Amino acid sequence: MEWLVIILLVAILALLAYVVWARKTPQETQGMVLLQQRIQELERSLEMKLGEGTSRMFENMRAQFGESQKLATDIRDLVAKQLTEVRIEQTKTNESTTRFMTIAEQLANLEKVLKHQKQRGNLGEASLELILSNILPPGSYKMQYEFPGGETVDAVVVTKEGVIPIDAKFSLDNYQRLVNAIDDTQRAELEKQFKNDLKMRIDETSKYVRPKDGTLPFAFMYIPAEAIYYDLLINEVGSVKVNTRNLIDYAYNEKKVIIVSPTTFAAYLQSVLYGFKAFKIEETAKDIAKNVEALGRHLKTYEDYYNKIGNSLSTTVNHYNAGRKELGKVDKDVLKITGGSIGLDGPLLEKPTLAGDE
């Protein structure tokens, strides 16, 4: 831009020399007209070049803005998609909660068919698998899980912290005898046997609590009949008072065993399921945060380009105004030589204001 101003000044000086020389000839009027035409041509040429430069800068600015706007739109669509997936998962969780409410009804009649010991074991494991499959997603639990030492537990729930063992073995023989007992002496003996049997089952379940083998520090002892679980809670078997509260405390505090029924076990699994969902939401939130961070970086890059465009426009306006001022000086020189102005004065442009300059 500076060389253009220099060329313009040289041309103007040449024209002024021509004007001085022309004043010494009879063709003064014709020379003045020619001088005015040349100066006007130079002015039009200067304005055309400045206009072309400004147009190119605005085109570049529009292109940069279009690319940044497209990037912001793409990231916004991606974030919206991920939030939609989170809402879908939440809906599935609510549906699972509704399903588990019907599981207790489906299992309510199981105890009616628990007559044979082998059948009781098979049905207990079947009801356990039914609850697991209806509440937890596939792959988050395993049936007949084998430990490194070769021992097998009925099922485990797989979490990111470790597996939760579940034992579904529970003998109903002494329970049924105690319910049907009439003689007080026989009832006292059966109560002792029932408590010993329950303690033995608690001890059997506790052997699956193996943090060194990847388990959590507790296990579930699954009782497939709501009636038995209820009797344990109220310390009563049928119409007979039985002190089972000490055994429940013994199971939880000493053996790290939680005794559950179909309904309470389903409630525990819901807590595990919410843990799975929370973990997935946490992972999705991390992806959203990464995308938002990328959006911030791109917007910062766009801001840098925009500031550069503003600085370029400011430089262009400065050169334009400098050229205008020089033309004003030429007009004054012509006025001194010829006694008349040729009208080279024009308005100056204002520089664009950047956000940081306000």
State residue 11's pLDDT score.
63
Q: What is the pLDDT of residues 197-241, one digit of tens each?
A: 888 888 999 999 999 998 888 899 998 877 777 777 765 444 445
Higher pLDDT, 18 or 111: 18
Same domain, 172 and 249: yes
Q: Is 47 within a domain?
A: yes
In the predicted structure, residue 168 carries a pLDDT above the cut 80? yes
Same domain, 169 and 216: yes
What is the dihedral angle through the alpha carbons of 129, 256, 234, 96, rounded to the nearest 10 degrees? -30
Q: Is 93 within a domain?
A: no
How far is Cα 78 from Cα 136, in angstroms, rounded to an integer? 28
Q: Is 354 within a domain?
A: no
Q: Is 108 within a domain?
A: no
- Proportion of the chain above pLDDT 90, given as a percent: 7
Q: What is the pLDDT of residues 268-318, one digit of tens each?
A: 887 776 665 555 555 665 666 676 676 667 767 766 766 777 777 777 767
Same domain, 120 and 246: yes
Single-letter amino acid, residue 307: N
Q: Is 184 within a domain?
A: yes
Tell me the residue range of the domain where 322 lies. Answer: 2-80+289-343
Number of independent structural domains in the chain? 2
Q: What is the pLDDT of residues 230-271, one digit of tens each?
A: 777 765 444 445 455 677 788 888 888 988 888 888 888 877
Nearest of 337, 269, 294, 289 to residue 74 by alpha carbon: 294
> Which of 137-151, 185-199, 200-214 is predicted least confidently?
185-199
Same domain, 36 and 170: no
Relative to beta strand 152-158, strand 163-167 is: antiparallel
Q: Is 91 within a domain?
A: no
Average pLDDT over residues 144-164: 88
pTM comes to 0.46
